[in-house]
Amino acid sequence: MSMKRIIRRLGYLRAFARECFVSESRNNSSSLASACRRRLYRTPCEVDTGVFITNIDNFSSGAESCLYHACYILNHHGRFTMGRRSHMGAFCYVNVCYGTVSIGDDVAIGPGTKVIAHSNHYLPGRKVTEERITADVVIGNNIFIGANCVILPGTVIRDNVVVGAGSIVKGELESNTIYAGAPCRKIKSGWYE
């Protein structure tokens, strides 16, 4: 067996051992298990129980940030970043299998919210199972996104924005504005100035 194959197999074995350890600590709510999850995910972020990050090499977060219970970051090939003092509520889902999701500082994302940078796509005359769209999602600083929102591919949310619960967001949201609805619409401007 070549040295290259041996090294590759050792890498697989290391990844398998790490995943076994992570799965043992994933649902343990003790402070020791919490510290182990932070260490295994190589992050200063608080990683709550049931959190799953598919590729820790494509994940980064700032100090005092948090992923609450059962957040799922699907980032096989894509990049997920979250700034300081930001958090994602319980049961949030991020599909950044390809592309980038960038979340700034002081962002509060409510439980059950979905952030999607990579998805199936519809084109007339084509099968939806064969079409994909990948478009980066950028969420600025000092933003509140209510529970059960859907942030679609290509969305840019500028600084100092509030998005009401249950909103479906696509496109660019202006700074210092409150939005809500499905589809999301401007409710009030200049709220933060």
pLDDT band at 122 (very low <50, low <70, confident <90, very high): confident
Q: What percent of the chain has pLDDT over 70?
A: 92
pLDDT at res. 24: 63
> In this structure, which CATH number among 3.40.50.1170, 2.160.10.10, 3.30.70.2190, 2.160.20.10 belongs to the domain 45-189?
2.160.10.10
Return the bridge partners of 130, or none.
none
pLDDT at res. 74: 96
76 catalytic residue (yes or no): no
Residue-wise pLDDT for 15-72, tens only, equals 766 666 666 667 777 777 788 788 888 899 999 999 999 999 999 999 999 999 999 9
Token pair listed for 124: 């007339």
Considering 69, 77, 87, 118, which one is annotated as catalytic? 118
Q: What distance in Å separates the CA atoms of residue 17 and residue 182, rounded to the nearest whole number? A: 44
Name the nearest CA neighbour of 184 among 176, 193, 174, 192.
174
Name the nearest CA neighbour of 170 among 128, 104, 119.
119
Mean pLDDT of the chain: 90
Domain extents in the chain: 1-40, 45-189
Query: Structure pTM?
Result: 0.85
